Chain A
Amino acid sequence: DAKTTQPPSMDCAEGRAANLPCNHSTISGNEYVYWYRQIHSQGPQYIIHGLKNNETNEMASLIITEDRKSSTLILPHATLRDTAVYYCIARSSGSARQLTFGSGTQLTVLP
């Protein structure tokens, strides 16, 4: 899996958009970008994933640069419940294997 780099922490005001960056400059053509988050004392929660195109679902949007070397997860209207550690993972898998979490970004949503 390609190495990913994320800022260790970020703050965001409640109701504002939270933009979480991720660098994956060595990503290969068949690796997807996955985002998970882990709220304290809970299991990791899948958010979104993409390969080349931008993706949007009910939780978030994923913007992937054209060269695929970086991406941004956008939470359009952050709430206090979005406070969590967010993990960006670059991965391809044609088989079942470990999901490798890096250090992630601690997002704190402030009232």
Chain B
Amino acid sequence: DAMVIQNPRYQVTQFGKPVTLSCSQTLNHNVMYWYQQKSSQAPKLLFHYYDKDFNNEADTPDNFQSRRPNTSFCFLDIRSPGLGDAAMYLCATSRVAGLQETQYFGPGTRLLVL
């Protein structure tokens, strides 16, 4: 089945230690997103790639970076995780077509910062 895959499902890191979360998709979608979701809050968009074009949200901290080496893979890098970065990180993909744009989410990676 075509899908969005995130590994690992749970990631533990230490305060200040760089961490990378990964996302892959078999949907051949041209857009890949990274959202951050903290407990009891709605998902918040960090940035997205439209094909190779990177689009950062205005309030995304510099501590968060992303790479998309090819259509199928996208990575979220947190350079120096703080305790406040503990959250669920959600990857989503879509194909923009006219006025419709359905986003499909992966299962998420829950990040714990010690």
Q: Does B2 sit at the interface, judged by CB under 8 A? A: no
**B42, A42: Cβ atoms under 8 Å?**
no
**B99, A92: Cβ atoms under 8 Å?**
yes
Q: Which 10 A-B pairs have the closest CB atoms?
A: A43-B105, A98-B45, A101-B42, A93-B101, A96-B31, A43-B108, A92-B99, A44-B105, A96-B50, A43-B107
**B92, A49: Cβ atoms under 8 Å?**
no
From known contacts A99-B43, A99-B92, infer whether A32 and B105 are also in contact, taking CB-CB under 8 Å. Answer: no
The secondary-structure label for the interface of chain A is loop
Give the A interface residue count (CB, 8 A): 22
Residues of A within 8 A of B48 (CB): 96-97
- A residues bordering B, Cβ < 8 Å? 30, 32, 34, 41-46, 49, 91-102
Contact partner, B108, options A42, A94, A98, Cβ 8 Å: A42
**A46, B104: Cβ atoms under 8 Å?**
yes
**A41, B110: Cβ atoms under 8 Å?**
yes
Give the B interface residue count (CB, 8 A): 29
**A99, B103: Cβ atoms under 8 Å?**
yes
From known contacts A99-B92, A101-B43, A102-B42, infer whether A94 and B98 are also in contact, taking CB-CB under 8 Å. Answer: yes
Residues of A within 8 A of B33 (CB): 96
From known contacts A99-B43, A102-B42, infer whether A93 and B100 are also in contact, taking CB-CB under 8 Å. Answer: yes
**B88, A41: Cβ atoms under 8 Å?**
yes
Residues of B within 8 A of A43 (CB): 4, 6, 88, 90, 92, 105-108
